[in-house]
Structure 1
Amino acid sequence: MEKIKGVIVSGALRPDDRLPRENELAAGLGLSRNSLREAVGALSLIRITNVRRGDGTYVTSLAPSLLLKAPSFVVDFQRDDTALEFLAVRRILEPAAPAARIGEERLDTLAAQLDKLGDDPSVEDCVACDLEFHRGIEESAGNPVLCALLDGLSGPTTRARIRRGLTRENAVSRTLHEHRASLAALRERDAEAPRSWATVHLASVERWLRSGR
Protein backbone atom coordinates (compact mmCIF):
# COMPACT_ATOMS: atom_id res chain seq x y z
CA MET A 1 0.00 0.00 0.00
CA GLU A 2 2.82 2.39 0.86
CA LYS A 3 4.57 1.66 -2.43
CA ILE A 4 1.43 2.35 -4.48
CA LYS A 5 0.78 5.45 -2.41
CA GLY A 6 4.34 6.61 -3.18
CA VAL A 7 3.74 6.27 -6.92
CA ILE A 8 0.58 8.39 -6.64
CA VAL A 9 2.10 11.01 -4.36
CA SER A 10 5.11 11.34 -6.67
CA GLY A 11 2.78 12.24 -9.52
CA ALA A 12 3.70 9.21 -11.63
CA LEU A 13 0.04 8.23 -11.31
CA ARG A 14 -2.48 11.06 -11.18
CA PRO A 15 -6.19 11.21 -10.31
CA ASP A 16 -8.30 9.15 -12.77
CA ASP A 17 -5.19 7.48 -14.26
CA ARG A 18 -5.34 3.76 -15.02
CA LEU A 19 -2.82 1.64 -13.12
CA PRO A 20 -0.37 -0.38 -15.25
CA ARG A 21 -1.14 -4.03 -15.86
CA GLU A 22 -0.89 -6.15 -12.75
CA ASN A 23 2.28 -8.02 -13.76
CA GLU A 24 4.02 -4.80 -14.83
CA LEU A 25 3.12 -2.92 -11.66
CA ALA A 26 4.05 -5.84 -9.41
CA ALA A 27 7.44 -6.17 -11.09
CA GLY A 28 8.06 -2.43 -10.99
CA LEU A 29 7.29 -2.24 -7.26
CA GLY A 30 9.09 -5.47 -6.38
CA LEU A 31 5.90 -7.17 -5.17
CA SER A 32 4.26 -10.50 -5.74
CA ARG A 33 1.00 -10.33 -7.68
CA ASN A 34 -0.92 -11.62 -4.65
CA SER A 35 0.50 -8.86 -2.43
CA LEU A 36 -0.32 -6.29 -5.09
CA ARG A 37 -3.94 -7.51 -5.33
CA GLU A 38 -4.35 -7.29 -1.56
CA ALA A 39 -2.89 -3.78 -1.50
CA VAL A 40 -5.10 -2.57 -4.36
CA GLY A 41 -8.14 -4.10 -2.67
CA ALA A 42 -7.33 -2.36 0.60
CA LEU A 43 -6.75 0.96 -1.17
CA SER A 44 -10.11 0.62 -2.90
CA LEU A 45 -11.81 0.36 0.51
CA ILE A 46 -10.42 3.76 1.47
CA ARG A 47 -11.23 5.10 -2.01
CA ILE A 48 -7.71 5.62 -3.28
CA THR A 49 -8.22 3.17 -6.13
CA ASN A 50 -11.29 2.01 -8.02
CA VAL A 51 -11.42 -1.45 -9.55
CA ARG A 52 -13.53 -1.45 -12.71
CA ARG A 53 -14.28 -5.01 -13.70
CA GLY A 54 -13.30 -5.74 -17.27
CA ASP A 55 -11.53 -2.39 -17.59
CA GLY A 56 -8.76 -2.22 -14.99
CA THR A 57 -7.88 -0.36 -11.81
CA TYR A 58 -7.88 3.42 -11.66
CA VAL A 59 -6.76 6.06 -9.24
CA THR A 60 -9.88 7.81 -7.99
CA SER A 61 -10.43 11.56 -8.20
CA LEU A 62 -8.84 11.80 -4.71
CA ALA A 63 -11.41 14.48 -3.88
CA PRO A 64 -11.68 15.24 -0.13
CA SER A 65 -15.40 14.40 -0.16
CA LEU A 66 -14.48 10.93 -1.42
CA LEU A 67 -11.41 10.20 0.70
CA LEU A 68 -12.99 11.41 3.94
CA LYS A 69 -15.88 8.98 3.61
CA ALA A 70 -13.72 6.24 5.10
CA PRO A 71 -13.29 8.00 8.48
CA SER A 72 -16.98 8.90 8.51
CA PHE A 73 -17.80 5.19 8.13
CA VAL A 74 -15.79 4.47 11.28
CA VAL A 75 -17.35 7.42 13.11
CA ASP A 76 -20.81 5.83 12.80
CA PHE A 77 -19.71 3.00 15.10
CA GLN A 78 -18.71 5.23 17.99
CA ARG A 79 -20.66 5.20 21.26
CA ASP A 80 -22.34 8.17 22.86
CA ASP A 81 -19.46 8.82 25.26
CA THR A 82 -17.19 9.20 22.23
CA ALA A 83 -19.84 11.36 20.56
CA LEU A 84 -18.96 14.05 23.08
CA GLU A 85 -15.46 14.21 21.64
CA PHE A 86 -16.81 14.48 18.09
CA LEU A 87 -19.20 17.23 19.18
CA ALA A 88 -16.31 19.13 20.72
CA VAL A 89 -14.43 18.96 17.41
CA ARG A 90 -17.54 20.05 15.49
CA ARG A 91 -17.99 22.97 17.87
CA ILE A 92 -14.47 24.13 16.96
CA LEU A 93 -14.71 23.58 13.20
CA GLU A 94 -18.27 24.55 12.27
CA PRO A 95 -18.16 28.19 13.41
CA ALA A 96 -14.96 28.54 11.37
CA ALA A 97 -16.88 28.14 8.10
CA PRO A 98 -17.00 31.61 6.49
CA ALA A 99 -20.79 31.81 6.25
CA ALA A 100 -20.58 35.34 4.83
CA ARG A 101 -19.97 33.77 1.42
CA ILE A 102 -23.40 32.18 1.31
CA GLY A 103 -25.48 33.37 -1.63
CA GLU A 104 -29.07 34.56 -1.69
CA GLU A 105 -30.20 31.49 -3.62
CA ARG A 106 -28.80 29.19 -0.94
CA LEU A 107 -30.41 31.32 1.77
CA ASP A 108 -33.76 31.02 -0.02
CA THR A 109 -33.34 27.24 -0.18
CA LEU A 110 -32.60 27.05 3.57
CA ALA A 111 -35.59 29.25 4.33
CA ALA A 112 -37.84 27.05 2.17
CA GLN A 113 -36.64 23.95 4.03
CA LEU A 114 -37.52 25.51 7.38
CA ASP A 115 -40.92 26.68 6.10
CA LYS A 116 -41.71 23.22 4.76
CA LEU A 117 -40.79 21.69 8.11
CA GLY A 118 -43.42 23.77 9.91
CA ASP A 119 -43.63 24.58 13.61
CA ASP A 120 -44.28 21.09 14.98
CA PRO A 121 -42.26 18.53 13.02
CA SER A 122 -41.33 15.04 14.19
CA VAL A 123 -37.94 14.64 15.84
CA GLU A 124 -36.66 12.61 12.90
CA ASP A 125 -37.76 15.23 10.35
CA CYS A 126 -36.26 18.01 12.47
CA VAL A 127 -32.89 16.24 12.72
CA ALA A 128 -32.88 15.46 8.97
CA CYS A 129 -33.56 19.14 8.24
CA ASP A 130 -30.89 20.09 10.77
CA LEU A 131 -28.31 18.08 8.84
CA GLU A 132 -29.30 19.69 5.53
CA PHE A 133 -29.32 23.15 7.12
CA HIS A 134 -25.78 22.80 8.45
CA ARG A 135 -24.55 21.16 5.24
CA GLY A 136 -25.96 24.02 3.17
CA ILE A 137 -24.02 26.57 5.20
CA GLU A 138 -20.84 24.49 5.21
CA GLU A 139 -20.89 23.98 1.43
CA SER A 140 -21.15 27.72 0.89
CA ALA A 141 -17.77 28.15 2.60
CA GLY A 142 -16.13 26.85 -0.58
CA ASN A 143 -13.79 24.56 1.37
CA PRO A 144 -14.45 20.90 0.42
CA VAL A 145 -12.07 19.59 3.11
CA LEU A 146 -13.90 21.43 5.89
CA CYS A 147 -17.25 20.38 4.47
CA ALA A 148 -16.24 16.71 4.22
CA LEU A 149 -14.81 16.69 7.75
CA LEU A 150 -17.96 18.21 9.23
CA ASP A 151 -20.17 15.86 7.24
CA GLY A 152 -18.20 12.90 8.57
CA LEU A 153 -18.49 14.10 12.15
CA SER A 154 -22.28 14.22 11.95
CA GLY A 155 -22.78 10.44 12.34
CA PRO A 156 -22.68 9.95 16.12
CA THR A 157 -24.15 13.37 16.81
CA THR A 158 -27.23 12.51 14.72
CA ARG A 159 -28.22 9.67 17.03
CA ALA A 160 -27.60 11.87 20.06
CA ARG A 161 -29.76 14.65 18.63
CA ILE A 162 -32.66 12.28 17.89
CA ARG A 163 -32.61 10.91 21.43
CA ARG A 164 -32.33 14.42 22.81
CA GLY A 165 -35.38 15.44 20.79
CA LEU A 166 -37.35 12.50 22.15
CA THR A 167 -36.42 13.01 25.79
CA ARG A 168 -35.82 16.73 26.30
CA GLU A 169 -38.77 19.07 26.48
CA ASN A 170 -38.83 21.80 23.80
CA ALA A 171 -35.70 20.41 22.09
CA VAL A 172 -37.33 20.58 18.63
CA SER A 173 -38.73 24.09 19.07
CA ARG A 174 -35.37 25.27 20.40
CA THR A 175 -33.57 23.84 17.37
CA LEU A 176 -36.00 25.59 15.01
CA HIS A 177 -35.55 28.87 16.89
CA GLU A 178 -31.75 28.63 16.63
CA HIS A 179 -31.93 27.85 12.91
CA ARG A 180 -34.23 30.77 12.19
CA ALA A 181 -32.08 33.12 14.22
CA SER A 182 -28.99 31.93 12.36
CA LEU A 183 -30.74 32.35 9.00
CA ALA A 184 -31.81 35.89 9.92
CA ALA A 185 -28.23 36.76 10.85
CA LEU A 186 -27.00 35.35 7.52
CA ARG A 187 -29.58 37.46 5.68
CA GLU A 188 -28.23 40.54 7.44
CA ARG A 189 -24.65 39.58 6.49
CA ASP A 190 -23.66 39.54 10.14
CA ALA A 191 -20.28 37.80 10.21
CA GLU A 192 -20.26 36.90 13.90
CA ALA A 193 -23.85 36.04 14.84
CA PRO A 194 -24.09 32.84 12.72
CA ARG A 195 -20.88 31.59 14.34
CA SER A 196 -22.31 32.30 17.76
CA TRP A 197 -25.55 30.49 16.96
CA ALA A 198 -23.61 27.48 15.62
CA THR A 199 -21.64 27.32 18.86
CA VAL A 200 -24.78 27.64 21.00
CA HIS A 201 -26.59 25.03 18.93
CA LEU A 202 -23.86 22.39 19.28
CA ALA A 203 -23.04 23.27 22.87
CA SER A 204 -26.64 22.60 23.93
CA VAL A 205 -26.44 19.03 22.60
CA GLU A 206 -23.06 18.61 24.25
CA ARG A 207 -24.39 19.81 27.61
CA TRP A 208 -27.33 17.42 27.33
CA LEU A 209 -25.01 14.49 26.70
CA ARG A 210 -22.71 15.46 29.57
CA SER A 211 -25.67 15.57 31.91
CA GLY A 212 -26.13 11.86 31.37
CA ARG A 213 -29.79 12.20 30.44
Structure 2
Amino acid sequence: MSVTDDAIAKIKAMIVSGDLKPGSRLPREADLAAELGVSRNSLREAVRALSLVQILDVRQGDGTYVASLEPNSLLDAMSFLLDFHQDDSVLDILGVRRILEPAATALAAQQMTDEQIAHLHTLVEPPQSGAITDLVALDLSFHAAIAAASGNKVLASLLDSLSMPTTRARIWRGVTEEGAFERTVAEHRGICDAIAAHDPELAHARALAHVGGVMEWLRKAAG
Protein backbone atom coordinates (compact mmCIF):
# COMPACT_ATOMS: atom_id res chain seq x y z
CA MET A 1 0.00 0.00 0.00
CA SER A 2 1.35 3.44 -0.95
CA VAL A 3 1.73 6.20 1.65
CA THR A 4 -1.16 8.08 0.05
CA ASP A 5 -3.38 4.97 0.14
CA ASP A 6 -2.46 4.58 3.80
CA ALA A 7 -3.56 8.16 4.51
CA ILE A 8 -6.82 7.55 2.61
CA ALA A 9 -7.51 4.41 4.65
CA LYS A 10 -6.90 6.24 7.95
CA ILE A 11 -9.24 9.11 7.05
CA LYS A 12 -11.94 6.63 6.01
CA ALA A 13 -11.46 4.78 9.32
CA MET A 14 -11.98 8.05 11.23
CA ILE A 15 -15.25 8.61 9.34
CA VAL A 16 -16.49 5.06 9.89
CA SER A 17 -15.61 5.18 13.60
CA GLY A 18 -17.43 8.49 14.04
CA ASP A 19 -14.32 10.50 14.93
CA LEU A 20 -15.14 12.54 11.83
CA LYS A 21 -18.88 13.04 11.37
CA PRO A 22 -20.77 14.10 8.23
CA GLY A 23 -20.57 17.85 7.87
CA SER A 24 -17.67 18.21 10.33
CA ARG A 25 -14.53 20.11 9.44
CA LEU A 26 -11.18 18.31 9.29
CA PRO A 27 -8.49 19.47 11.73
CA ARG A 28 -5.68 21.72 10.51
CA GLU A 29 -3.50 19.99 7.94
CA ALA A 30 -0.42 19.92 10.17
CA ASP A 31 -2.39 18.57 13.14
CA LEU A 32 -4.18 15.88 11.14
CA ALA A 33 -0.97 14.77 9.42
CA ALA A 34 0.69 14.38 12.82
CA GLU A 35 -2.30 12.50 14.20
CA LEU A 36 -2.33 10.08 11.26
CA GLY A 37 1.44 9.71 11.17
CA VAL A 38 1.77 10.76 7.52
CA SER A 39 3.46 13.64 5.71
CA ARG A 40 1.48 16.75 4.88
CA ASN A 41 2.02 16.06 1.18
CA SER A 42 0.57 12.54 1.49
CA LEU A 43 -2.37 13.93 3.45
CA ARG A 44 -2.96 16.55 0.76
CA GLU A 45 -3.06 13.88 -1.95
CA ALA A 46 -5.40 11.74 0.15
CA VAL A 47 -7.78 14.66 0.64
CA ARG A 48 -7.71 15.38 -3.08
CA ALA A 49 -8.53 11.74 -3.90
CA LEU A 50 -11.38 11.55 -1.39
CA SER A 51 -12.82 14.83 -2.64
CA LEU A 52 -12.95 13.40 -6.16
CA VAL A 53 -15.20 10.59 -4.93
CA GLN A 54 -17.32 13.01 -2.87
CA ILE A 55 -16.36 11.72 0.56
CA LEU A 56 -14.67 15.03 1.44
CA ASP A 57 -15.73 18.53 0.41
CA VAL A 58 -12.87 21.00 -0.09
CA ARG A 59 -14.08 24.59 0.27
CA GLN A 60 -11.55 27.15 -0.90
CA GLY A 61 -10.70 29.63 1.86
CA ASP A 62 -12.82 27.78 4.40
CA GLY A 63 -11.39 24.31 4.94
CA THR A 64 -12.13 20.67 4.22
CA TYR A 65 -15.32 19.03 5.46
CA VAL A 66 -16.70 15.52 5.57
CA ALA A 67 -19.43 15.36 2.92
CA SER A 68 -23.05 14.97 3.94
CA LEU A 69 -22.76 11.26 3.06
CA GLU A 70 -26.37 11.13 1.96
CA PRO A 71 -27.28 7.70 0.55
CA ASN A 72 -26.95 8.58 -3.14
CA SER A 73 -23.62 10.36 -2.69
CA LEU A 74 -22.23 7.69 -0.40
CA LEU A 75 -23.28 4.82 -2.65
CA ASP A 76 -21.63 6.50 -5.63
CA ALA A 77 -18.40 6.99 -3.67
CA MET A 78 -18.42 3.46 -2.31
CA SER A 79 -19.11 1.92 -5.72
CA PHE A 80 -16.13 3.85 -7.02
CA LEU A 81 -13.85 2.39 -4.37
CA LEU A 82 -15.26 -1.09 -4.92
CA ASP A 83 -14.20 -0.86 -8.56
CA PHE A 84 -10.63 -1.16 -7.37
CA HIS A 85 -10.80 -3.45 -4.37
CA GLN A 86 -13.54 -5.99 -5.05
CA ASP A 87 -14.30 -5.95 -8.78
CA ASP A 88 -12.10 -7.20 -11.61
CA SER A 89 -14.28 -5.64 -14.33
CA VAL A 90 -12.03 -2.60 -14.84
CA LEU A 91 -9.00 -4.87 -15.16
CA ASP A 92 -10.90 -7.05 -17.63
CA ILE A 93 -11.81 -3.99 -19.70
CA LEU A 94 -8.17 -2.90 -19.75
CA GLY A 95 -7.25 -6.41 -20.86
CA VAL A 96 -9.47 -6.02 -23.91
CA ARG A 97 -8.03 -2.56 -24.57
CA ARG A 98 -4.56 -4.09 -24.39
CA ILE A 99 -5.51 -6.36 -27.30
CA LEU A 100 -7.34 -3.80 -29.44
CA GLU A 101 -5.57 -0.49 -28.83
CA PRO A 102 -2.10 -1.44 -30.12
CA ALA A 103 -3.74 -2.71 -33.34
CA ALA A 104 -5.64 0.57 -33.76
CA THR A 105 -2.47 2.56 -33.08
CA ALA A 106 -0.53 0.59 -35.70
CA LEU A 107 -3.27 1.27 -38.26
CA ALA A 108 -3.27 4.97 -37.34
CA ALA A 109 0.50 5.11 -37.91
CA GLN A 110 -0.09 3.94 -41.46
CA GLN A 111 -3.03 6.21 -42.24
CA MET A 112 -2.86 9.42 -40.23
CA THR A 113 -2.53 12.59 -42.30
CA ASP A 114 -0.20 15.45 -41.40
CA GLU A 115 -3.23 17.46 -40.26
CA GLN A 116 -4.42 14.66 -37.98
CA ILE A 117 -0.93 14.22 -36.54
CA ALA A 118 -0.70 17.97 -35.84
CA HIS A 119 -3.99 17.73 -33.94
CA LEU A 120 -2.72 14.69 -32.02
CA HIS A 121 0.31 16.71 -30.90
CA THR A 122 -2.04 19.26 -29.27
CA LEU A 123 -3.55 16.45 -27.18
CA VAL A 124 -0.17 15.28 -25.92
CA GLU A 125 0.94 18.39 -24.03
CA PRO A 126 -0.12 18.57 -20.35
CA PRO A 127 -3.00 20.93 -19.47
CA GLN A 128 -2.00 24.35 -18.14
CA SER A 129 -4.23 23.84 -15.12
CA GLY A 130 -2.16 20.85 -14.00
CA ALA A 131 -5.39 19.19 -12.83
CA ILE A 132 -5.62 15.42 -13.04
CA THR A 133 -9.20 15.60 -14.33
CA ASP A 134 -8.08 17.85 -17.21
CA LEU A 135 -5.24 15.45 -18.04
CA VAL A 136 -7.71 12.54 -18.09
CA ALA A 137 -9.97 14.50 -20.47
CA LEU A 138 -7.00 14.98 -22.81
CA ASP A 139 -6.12 11.31 -22.37
CA LEU A 140 -9.60 10.28 -23.54
CA SER A 141 -9.40 12.63 -26.55
CA PHE A 142 -5.91 11.38 -27.43
CA HIS A 143 -6.92 7.73 -27.56
CA ALA A 144 -10.20 8.53 -29.32
CA ALA A 145 -8.34 10.44 -32.06
CA ILE A 146 -6.02 7.49 -32.64
CA ALA A 147 -8.89 5.00 -32.74
CA ALA A 148 -10.82 7.16 -35.21
CA ALA A 149 -7.72 7.46 -37.42
CA SER A 150 -7.40 3.68 -37.59
CA GLY A 151 -9.93 3.78 -40.42
CA ASN A 152 -11.92 0.93 -38.89
CA LYS A 153 -15.22 2.26 -37.57
CA VAL A 154 -16.07 -0.93 -35.68
CA LEU A 155 -12.69 -0.96 -33.92
CA ALA A 156 -13.01 2.76 -33.08
CA SER A 157 -16.51 2.22 -31.67
CA LEU A 158 -15.37 -0.72 -29.53
CA LEU A 159 -12.48 1.26 -28.08
CA ASP A 160 -14.74 4.25 -27.39
CA SER A 161 -17.15 2.03 -25.43
CA LEU A 162 -14.23 0.62 -23.41
CA SER A 163 -12.70 3.99 -22.63
CA MET A 164 -15.24 5.65 -20.32
CA PRO A 165 -15.53 2.75 -17.80
CA THR A 166 -11.82 3.18 -17.00
CA THR A 167 -11.95 6.97 -16.51
CA ARG A 168 -12.23 6.71 -12.73
CA ALA A 169 -9.28 4.33 -12.64
CA ARG A 170 -7.19 6.88 -14.53
CA ILE A 171 -8.15 9.66 -12.11
CA TRP A 172 -7.42 7.45 -9.11
CA ARG A 173 -4.00 6.57 -10.51
CA GLY A 174 -3.25 10.24 -11.10
CA VAL A 175 -3.90 11.23 -7.50
CA THR A 176 -2.37 8.20 -5.77
CA GLU A 177 0.68 7.20 -7.82
CA GLU A 178 3.72 9.43 -7.71
CA GLY A 179 4.84 10.54 -11.17
CA ALA A 180 1.76 9.15 -12.95
CA PHE A 181 0.99 12.54 -14.51
CA GLU A 182 4.46 12.93 -16.02
CA ARG A 183 4.63 9.26 -17.06
CA THR A 184 1.36 9.47 -18.97
CA VAL A 185 2.48 12.59 -20.85
CA ALA A 186 5.85 10.98 -21.74
CA GLU A 187 4.18 7.77 -22.99
CA HIS A 188 1.70 9.73 -25.08
CA ARG A 189 4.55 11.68 -26.66
CA GLY A 190 6.29 8.42 -27.52
CA ILE A 191 3.16 7.02 -29.16
CA CYS A 192 2.60 10.27 -31.05
CA ASP A 193 6.21 10.30 -32.30
CA ALA A 194 5.88 6.72 -33.57
CA ILE A 195 2.68 7.62 -35.44
CA ALA A 196 4.30 10.76 -36.88
CA ALA A 197 7.17 8.60 -38.13
CA HIS A 198 4.58 6.28 -39.74
CA ASP A 199 6.17 3.34 -37.93
CA PRO A 200 3.33 0.88 -37.18
CA GLU A 201 5.51 -1.64 -35.34
CA LEU A 202 6.91 0.97 -32.96
CA ALA A 203 3.45 2.52 -32.49
CA HIS A 204 2.04 -0.93 -31.66
CA ALA A 205 4.81 -1.63 -29.12
CA ARG A 206 4.46 1.72 -27.36
CA ALA A 207 0.67 1.47 -27.15
CA LEU A 208 1.00 -2.06 -25.73
CA ALA A 209 3.46 -0.88 -23.08
CA HIS A 210 1.23 2.09 -22.23
CA VAL A 211 -1.91 0.05 -21.53
CA GLY A 212 0.16 -2.68 -19.86
CA GLY A 213 1.57 -0.13 -17.40
CA VAL A 214 -1.93 0.91 -16.33
CA MET A 215 -2.87 -2.75 -15.83
CA GLU A 216 0.20 -3.40 -13.71
CA TRP A 217 -0.60 -0.42 -11.47
CA LEU A 218 -4.24 -1.49 -11.12
CA ARG A 219 -3.30 -5.01 -10.08
CA LYS A 220 -1.13 -3.59 -7.31
CA ALA A 221 -3.76 -1.03 -6.26
CA ALA A 222 -6.46 -3.68 -6.06
CA GLY A 223 -4.29 -6.20 -4.26
Superposed CA RMSD in Å reads 1.9
Please report how far the alpha carbon of residue 190 of structure 1 lies from its aligned counterpart in structure 2 after TM superposition.
1.0
Report the counterpart of residue 79 of structure 1 in structure 2: 83
Does residue 164 of structure 1 match 2:173? yes
Q: Secondary structure at the match of 1:192?
A: helix
Give the paired residue count: 136
Please say if residues 84 and 206 of structure 1, whose CA atoms lie closer than 8 Å, have aligned partners that are also in contact.
Answer: yes
User: What letter matches 2:154 in structure 1?
Assistant: V
Report the counterpart of residue 106 of structure 1 in structure 2: 116
Computing the radius of gyration over CA atoms, which structure comes out larger, 1 or 2? Answer: 1
Report the counterpart of residue 40 of structure 1 in structure 2: none
- Counterpart of 1:128 (choices 137, 154, 178) is 137
Please report how far the alpha carbon of residue 117 of structure 1 lies from its aligned counterpart in structure 2 after TM superposition.
2.4
Report the counterpart of residue 145 of structure 1 in structure 2: 154
State the alpha-carbon separation in 1 of the partners of residues 123 and 195 from structure 2: 15
- Structure 2 spans left out of the alignment, 5+ residues: 1-79
Q: How does 1:1-213 map to 2 (within 5 A)?
A: 79-80=83-84, 81-97=88-104, 98-99=107-108, 100-115=110-125, 117-118=127-128, 121-212=130-221
User: What letter matches 1:79 in structure 2?
Assistant: D
Q: Secondary structure at the match of 1:207?
A: helix
Please report how far the alpha carbon of residue 130 of structure 1 lies from its aligned counterpart in structure 2 after TM superposition.
0.7
Deviation per CA, 1:110-139, whole angstroms, max 9, x where unpaired?
112334725x72111111101100111110
Q: Secondary structure at the match of 1:179?
A: helix
User: What letter matches 2:173 in structure 1?
Assistant: R
State the alpha-carbon separation in 2 of the partners of residues 161 and 188 from structure 1: 28
Please say if residues 123 and 139 of structure 2, whose CA atoms lie closer than 8 Å, have aligned partners that are also in contact.
Answer: no
State the alpha-carbon separation in 1 of the partners of residues 93 and 150 from structure 2: 21
Deviation per CA, 1:32-76, whole angstroms, max 9, x where unpaired?
xxxxxxxxxxxxxxxxxxxxxxxxxxxxxxxxxxxxxxxxxxxx9
Q: Secondary structure at the match of 1:146?
A: helix
Please say if residues 79 and 156 of structure 1, whose CA atoms lie closer than 8 Å, have aligned partners that are also in contact.
Answer: no
User: What letter matches 1:173 in structure 2?
Assistant: E
Please say if residues 125 and 185 of structure 2, whose CA atoms lie closer than 8 Å, have aligned partners that are also in contact.
Answer: no
Deviation per CA, 1:1-20, whole angstroms, max 9, x where unpaired?
xxxxxxxxxxxxxxxxxxxx
State the alpha-carbon separation in 1 of the partners of residues 167 and 207 from structure 2: 15
What is the TM-score when the length of structure 1 is the normalising length?
0.60
- Structure 1 spans left out of the alignment, 5+ residues: 1-75
State the alpha-carbon separation in 2 of the partners of residues 180 and 109 from structure 1: 13
